[in-house]
Structure 1
Amino acid sequence: MIFFLAGTSDARELAVTLQQDGYSVIASVVTENAVNELKQVGVPAFAGRMDTEAMQAFIGEKEAAAVVDASHPFAEEASKNAMAAASQAGIPYVRFERKEQDFQESSLITYVSTYEEAADRAAKTKGTVMLTTGSKTLAIFTERLLPIEDIRLVCRMLPRKDNMEKCEQLGLPQKNIVAIQGPFTKKFDQALYEQYDVACMVTKASGQRGSVDQKIEAAKELGIETIVIERPSIDYSNRCSSFEEVRDMLRKLKIKRGHGDGF
């Protein structure tokens, strides 16, 4: 059985691909919505954040033969926990991560390494700052930007109850919340930027499947400054950027196919 960490739409497709190859897969995700999406395509899944010890216990209970980590490129803690758990359990760890995109150099695009750097850079802007980095690090931006009179902070995020509650707790006005789920087209992004009169957009280098290219191109065409947060620097083992690389790696590692005991 493969213990599979899923955090993106392409991760879901990879899990299905591995099942079609004959591997037994059980996926760990963060939300119940993600569980339902995986179950709809026939992949057993459960929700909840797990630390290293919890992962190791699960690996032992299910007698997992390998860990395939297809969590979000910015789910740094989950990846580190998965690597440690696999190492402690003595089983292979395989990382799948969508390729980063290279954008043409532009005076409108600024790359930073941390959320704090992004917030400090955005604080130099006058007008509307649109945040498209989710709710996990929202406090970093609200603490730095909400007190500035010349800045209106607008946040685009998934329409989840916990996200709305977090916005309320952090003092983000309801009128400044765009609760919506993508993917989006470039035209949609441009319409949104124009609707809110955006002067600066903040995003993460999540890859094409994260629609980063659409967001950035839409902003560039409108002359909007874009701040891109680069991916965490992690020394992954058995790193793959395509489904075929993952399949080849599992064959190389001689991971057996067959059905596990599920839940």
Structure 2
Amino acid sequence: MAHAPGDPHVLVLGGTTEARALAAALAEVAGLRATSSLAGRVAEPRLPAGEVRIGGFGGPDGLAAWLRAERVAAVVDATHPFAAVMSGNAAAAAAATGVPLLALRRPGWAPVPGDDWHPVASLADAAALLPALGRRVLLTSGRQGIAAFAHLDGLHFVARSVDPPEPPLPASLDVLLDRGPFTLDGERAVLREHRIDVVVTKDSGGAATAPKLTAARELGLPVVVVTRPPLPAGVPVAETVPAALAWLAARGLTPR
């Protein structure tokens, strides 16, 4: 939808399913300009509706300058729950410019009866724990996290990522290039065919990658779960796209 020079401008820091859904909703709002910003870490990202920019801003100062130059009225941080640097930059830039900021975060996963979860604070902690849990590891922490396991020569890793990972890598490694959403039958097949005996994941939440948790529970496999980093202090949170739209509506940016 075309916009006029005086239309209010919303920046969506994207890359998630929720960010794409929010961008699609905002693209239908008359008299509103919405821009989605993607980090550019995936070679062929799923582009959201509306205006899109790809690449970094140059830290919090660069983002603040962009907010001023583009006359942004509000920012929605809908990045991945583990994009702590970007979330920190957004909070600092919002504070420097006075632009309202909302974090859009889907709820994290919660264990259910039968789960054998091992929460850890970091990928390094996950790597330290693995030798006591198994020898064949399904690693679903993203290609940039694989380096944390490169020193574990006694384990075999099956790493799943959208794009091929770069060194350093574990000596014994199979790479599955795939993109969610994943099915329960598909996850069962991966665990059985690769004889997986332990799973590593980040607590990204959502339904797209949750079937691996069910499949692991069915097979009685331990799951090492990297917990989310905290959001910057004072940033309000919406757990759903409708809640984010309501927050924007309260600021006169979308219809109530």
In which range does the TM-score fall when normalised by the shorter chain?
0.7 to 0.9
Q: Secondary structure at the match of 1:237?
A: coil
User: Superposed, which structure 2 residues align to 1:150-169 within 5 Å?
Assistant: 151-158=155-162, 160=163, 163-164=164-165, 166=166, 169=167
Residue in 1 that maps onto 2:39 = 30
- Looking at structure 1, the residues matched to 170 and 204 of structure 2 have their Cα atoms a distance apart, in angstroms, of 25
Q: Do structure 1's residue 78 and structure 2's residue 86 form an aligned pair?
A: yes
Q: Do structure 1's residue 248 and structure 2's residue 252 form an aligned pair?
A: no
Count residues in correspondence: 242
Task: Give structure 1 stretches of 5+ with no counterpart.
Answer: 258-263
Is 2:105–2:238's contact at 8 Å kept on the other side of the alignment? yes
Is 1:92–1:253's contact at 8 Å kept on the other side of the alignment? no
Q: Do structure 1's residue 141 and structure 2's residue 134 form an aligned pair?
A: no
1:126 Cα deviation after fit: 3.6
Superposed CA RMSD in Å reads 2.0
Identity of aligned residues (%): 26
Q: Do structure 1's residue 52 and structure 2's residue 60 form an aligned pair?
A: yes
The one-character-per-residue Cα deviations of 1:161-192 (angstroms, maximum 9, x if unpaired) are xx34x1xx214468611111121101101100
Whose RCO is larger (CA < 8 A, sep 6+)? 1
- Looking at structure 1, the residues matched to 54 and 252 of structure 2 have their Cα atoms a distance apart, in angstroms, of 29
Q: Secondary structure at the match of 1:181?
A: coil
The one-character-per-residue Cα deviations of 1:116-154 (angstroms, maximum 9, x if unpaired) are 1111111223420111000222211113x2x2x2x1122
Q: Given the two structures, how large is their TM-score scaled by the length of structure 2?
A: 0.87
Q: Secondary structure at the match of 1:178?
A: strand
Is 1:203–1:229's contact at 8 Å kept on the other side of the alignment? yes
- Structure 1 residues 121 and 210, CA gap change in structure 2 (3 angstroms): farther
Is 1:238–1:249's contact at 8 Å kept on the other side of the alignment? no
The range that moved more, 234-243 or 196-205, is: 234-243
Is 1:10–1:209's contact at 8 Å kept on the other side of the alignment? no
1:107 Cα deviation after fit: 5.8
- Looking at structure 2, the residues matched to 238 and 228 of structure 1 have their Cα atoms a distance apart, in angstroms, of 25
Q: Do structure 1's residue 220 and structure 2's residue 220 form an aligned pair?
A: no
Is 1:67–1:91's contact at 8 Å kept on the other side of the alignment? yes
- Looking at structure 1, the residues matched to 169 and 240 of structure 2 have their Cα atoms a distance apart, in angstroms, of 41
Q: Given the two structures, how large is their TM-score scaled by the length of structure 1?
A: 0.85
Residue in 1 that maps onto 2:124 = 116
- Structure 1 residues 222 and 238, CA gap change in structure 2 (3 angstroms): same
- Looking at structure 2, the residues matched to 138 and 37 of structure 1 have their Cα atoms a distance apart, in angstroms, of 25
Task: Give structure 2 stretches of 5+ with no counterpart.
Answer: 1-8
The range that moved more, 196-205 or 236-245, is: 236-245
Is 2:39–2:56's contact at 8 Å kept on the other side of the alignment? yes
Q: Secondary structure at the match of 1:45?
A: strand
- Structure 1 residues 206 and 107, CA gap change in structure 2 (3 angstroms): closer
Is 2:157–2:173's contact at 8 Å kept on the other side of the alignment? no
- Structure 1 residues 230 and 210, CA gap change in structure 2 (3 angstroms): farther
Is 1:131–1:201's contact at 8 Å kept on the other side of the alignment? yes
Equivalent residue in structure 1 for 2:71, among 63, 78, 86:
63
The range that moved more, 57-66 or 103-112, is: 103-112
1:105 Cα deviation after fit: 4.4
- 4+ residue runs of structure 1 moved beyond 6 angstroms? none
Task: Report the residue type matching 1:43 in the other structure.
Answer: G
